[in-house]
């Protein structure tokens, strides 16, 4: 009898442990891809039109040492010496960075966005202290990486990477010095035998540009970014992809480009985007005088100023004037169209389904995450891997997509604060939502404008993915209605708006020499 009981007990426990251990879904921390053979080399990439460079900057890269010189031979010996003593960690770094390390830096950028995408809470006295770049440690750490901040960060990162790589490509094909494995059989190239010239090092260009732009955008992460860049630069030698002089040449280019990018960033108007209460109230009053309504923050304690009311004044990349892409006004509060939209919202909340809930959550990309711009950068990354784009073309994809996303964001914020439309929780009595209402007005939806702009650019570069991108953008727009934080017209107009803004980006892309 006792044996039976023991048996039952033990087998139940074993069954339980077995069932419990079946929960071993992978939880990847970064994209699982390896170095790949580029689909094309883009030999004339150096002739493409850069975004910031005018050609007058006079960036020079000295000719490389001859491959038969003693100087170069000693560099080969250095690489061989390193390769003979690689540690496990160094091998892992080589595997991780791949021969398209721009994607890894994009992941790092998105991760920092997620880390810093936290809204300041109230002080004990009910006031709010916002992050200040002059005192980045606090009380609220700088930056608050909200969607406007993040899309701008990604745009400057991508544009700087792109311009720097165009310059690098130009010199690569002027000097035509290949990677060390071409000149010495004893040197192993972890990334395969590439026909892309290696002087200057595109990996070094990406490492230095990314490190320095991200340090400017996330000042508290300087030590961390230095460490990541060090590992990346080390892996360029450990992999056998470069010799040290390749890296030095890349650094020369990066240093110049970073200066130019920072100069534009310092003057683009972002420093004035988060206005004070006096200006914020006057913006609200203008809308109230015009339309008879104004958005208000409904949090407790109430936030006195919305998020970045003057983000609309930041310098756009491709659109001459933000008013050129401003949509028409939303339906008047209380009008038939408004009431229909409000009824739809109430209906969704009263009849929430698991499917609608999932769509709302899938596209939320809210506080604590990489934001909608980050989500689209993830899609772009996956396409770049799928289509095996080389670093230059990858940079071009990211640069144009992120410029379109940022222009769309500027246009969206222009509509938000010009029309100052109240959110559903403000207009619908007793209304509850399944996602939190953000600290900025309703019309138009940021998700919709960001997504439509990104989808437009990605569909242009990857025509086979147009249907998928459109589905994503439409679902992202719809998700905000299920969440209860946007009216249908916020999302529908937002989609149109994002597409219209991105057309200006496409116009530039079609004549930059890459197509």
* Positions in the binding site for another protein (CB under 8 A): 5, 8-9, 12-13, 16-17, 19-20, 22-31, 107, 110-111, 114-115, 118-122, 298-301, 349, 352, 354, 357-358, 361-362, 364-365, 367-370, 374-375, 378, 425, 431-437
Closest distance to another protein from the beta carbon of 4 (Å): 9
Closest distance to another protein from the beta carbon of 33 (Å): 12
Nearer to another protein, 194 or 297 (CB): 297
Contacts (Cβ under 8 Å, ≥6 apart) of 333 = 292, 293, 422, 427
Q: Give the span between the Cα atoms of 159 and 48, in whole angstroms.
A: 13
Nearer to another protein, 375 or 396 (CB): 375
Nearer to another protein, 264 or 378 (CB): 378
Contacts (Cβ under 8 Å, ≥6 apart) of 430 = none
Q: Give the span between the Cα atoms of 211 and 399, in whole angstroms.
A: 17
Task: 252-255: list long-range contacts, CB under 8 Å, 24+ apart.
Answer: 252/59, 252/60, 252/61, 252/200, 253/59, 253/61, 253/164, 253/167, 253/168, 253/171, 253/200, 253/205, 254/164, 254/204, 254/205, 254/207, 254/208, 254/209, 254/212, 255/208
Closest distance to another protein from the beta carbon of 446 (Å): 17
Q: Give the span between the Cα atoms of 384 and 378, in whole angstroms.
A: 10
Nearer to another protein, 251 or 381 (CB): 381
Lookup: tokens for 470: 């459109």
The pair phi, psi for residue 128, each rounded to 5°, is: -120, 135
Closest distance to another protein from the beta carbon of 389 (Å): 20
Residue 284 near residue 420 (C-beta atoms within 8 A): yes
Closest distance to another protein from the beta carbon of 54 (Å): 37
Nearer to another protein, 242 or 437 (CB): 437
Q: Give the span between the Cα atoms of 200 and 186, in whole angstroms.
A: 22
Nearer to another protein, 14 or 267 (CB): 14
Nearer to another protein, 243 or 364 (CB): 364
Closest distance to another protein from the beta carbon of 368 (Å): 5
Nearer to another protein, 76 or 220 (CB): 220
Closest distance to another protein from the beta carbon of 61 (Å): 35
Closest distance to another protein from the beta carbon of 30 (Å): 7
Nearer to another protein, 119 or 270 (CB): 119
Q: Give the span between the Cα atoms of 211 and 219, in whole angstroms.
A: 11
Contacts (Cβ under 8 Å, ≥6 apart) of 190 = 35, 94, 95, 238, 239, 240, 241
Closest distance to another protein from the beta carbon of 35 (Å): 19
Nearer to another protein, 53 or 434 (CB): 434
Nearer to another protein, 65 or 367 (CB): 367
Closest distance to another protein from the beta carbon of 206 (Å): 19
Other Cβ atoms closer than 10 A to 32: 8
Q: Give the span between the Cα atoms of 49 and 477, in whole angstroms.
A: 33
Closest distance to another protein from the beta carbon of 269 (Å): 28
Cis peptide before 102 (omega within 30 of 0): no
The pair phi, psi for residue 86, each rounded to 5°, is: -70, 135
SS3 367: coil
């Amino acid at each position: 009898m006792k044996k039976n009981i023991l048996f039952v007990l033990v087998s139940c426990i074993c069954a339980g442990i077995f069932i419990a251990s079946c929960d071993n879904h992978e939880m990847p921390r970064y994209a699982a891809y390896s170095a790949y053979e580029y689909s094309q080399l883009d030999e004339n990439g150096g002739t493409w039109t850069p975004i910031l460079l005018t050609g007058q900057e006079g960036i020079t890269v000295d000719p490389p040492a001859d491959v038969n010189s003693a100087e170069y031979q000693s560099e080969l010996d250095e690489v061989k010496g390193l390769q003979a003593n690689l540690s496990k960690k160094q091998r892992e770094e080589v595997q991780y960075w791949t021969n398209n390390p721009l994607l890894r830096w994009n992941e790092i950028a998105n991760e920092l966005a997620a880390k810093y995408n936290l809204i300041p809470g109230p002080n004990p006295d009910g006031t709010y202290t916002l992050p200040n770049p002059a005192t980045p440690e606090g009380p609220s750490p700088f930056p608050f990486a909200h969607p406007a901040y993040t899309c701008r960060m990604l745009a400057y990162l991508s544009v700087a990477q792109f311009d720097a790589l165009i310059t690098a490509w130009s010199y690569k094909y002027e000097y035509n010095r290949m990677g060390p494995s071409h000149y010495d059989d004893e040197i192993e190239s972890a990334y395969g035998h590439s026909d892309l010239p290696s002087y200057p090092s595109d990996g070094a260009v990406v490492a230095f540009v990314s490190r320095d732009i991200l340090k400017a955008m996330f000042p508290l992460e300087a030590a961390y970014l230095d460490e990541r860049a060090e590992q990346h630069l080390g892996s360029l030698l450990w992999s056998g992809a470069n010799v040290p002089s390749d890296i030095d040449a890349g650094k020369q280019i990066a240093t110049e480009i970073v200066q130019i990018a920072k100069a534009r960033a310092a003057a683009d108007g972002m420093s004035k985007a988060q206005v004070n209460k006096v200006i914020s109230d006057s913006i609200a009053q203008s809308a109230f005088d015009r339309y008879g309504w104004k958005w208000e923050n409904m949090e407790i304690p109430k936030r006195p100023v919305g998020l970045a009311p003057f983000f609309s004044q930041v310098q756009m990349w491709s659109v001459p004037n933000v008013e050129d892409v401003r949509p028409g006004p939303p339906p008047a509060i209380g009008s038939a169209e408004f009431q229909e939209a409000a009824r739809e919202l109430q209906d969704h909340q009263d009849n929430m389904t698991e499917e609608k809930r999932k769509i709302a959550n899938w596209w939320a990309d809210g506080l604590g995450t990489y934001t909608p711009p980050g989500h689209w950068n993830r899609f772009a990354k996956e396409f770049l891997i799928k289509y095996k784009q080389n670093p230059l073309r990858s940079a071009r994809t990211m640069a144009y997509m992120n410029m379109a996303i940022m222009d769309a964001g500027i246009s969206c914020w222009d509509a938000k604060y010009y029309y100052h439309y109240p959110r559903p929780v403000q207009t619908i009595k007793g209304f509850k939502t399944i996602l939190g209402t953000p600290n900025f007005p309703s019309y138009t939806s940021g998700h919709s404008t960001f997504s439509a702009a990104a989808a437009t650019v990605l569909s242009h570069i990857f025509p086979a993915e147009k249907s998928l991108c459109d589905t994503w953008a439409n679902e992202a727009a719809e998700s905000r209605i299920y969440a209860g934080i946007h009216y249908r017209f916020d999302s529908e107009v937002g989609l149109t708006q994002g597409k219209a803004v991105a057309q200006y980006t496409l116009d530039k892309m079609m004549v930059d020499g890459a197509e």
